[in-house]
Amino acid sequence: MIRKHSPKDLEAILNIWYQASTLAHPFLDDAFVEQVKTAMRDMYIPDSETWVYEEHGTILGFISMMDNEIGGLFVLPNHHSKGIGSQLVNFIKPSYKSLEVEVFDKNAIGRAFYKKYGFKYMHSYFHKESNQDVLRLKFDNLN
């Protein structure tokens, strides 16, 4: 089931983010990861529209939207490749003419997911805070 998150879901969301982010972003500095975790708790989740994927009372993944941008799409690593990420994108897709997302160039997991889903490269830039190249991708929702 996909539902709008509630404040009581915050710890589960942060746990999913941390586990999935650690797997997808082993190249990130620990201090930067802690900085993002704090921002997730205090700013990103409260200031975005976030939906969770829940099964048998357990949250397995989430998607956070800021306008038409996917600010975060994360699934517990032991539930990857089960269609949860696609279901979350499919859930929000009808509300937007297009979707955009930023993904680290070195994030092979995220890049493969967005490529398979049909996102196209827009441009890239160097993200000074993480010391990493970031790709901006777009999905045009023509349906």
Question: What is d(CA 46, CA 7) in angstroms, rounded to the nearest whole number?
Answer: 9
How large a percentage of the chain has pLDDT more than 90?
85
pTM beyond 0.85: yes
- Residue 113 to residue 10: CA distance in whole angstroms: 24
For residue 1, is pLDDT > 90?
A: yes
Question: Looking at residue 143, what is its pLDDT?
Answer: 54
Does the structure show a pLDDT above 60 at 37?
yes
Q: What is the percent of the chain with per-residue pLDDT over 70, rounded to a whole number?
A: 99
Tell me which of 43 and 142 has the higher pLDDT: 43
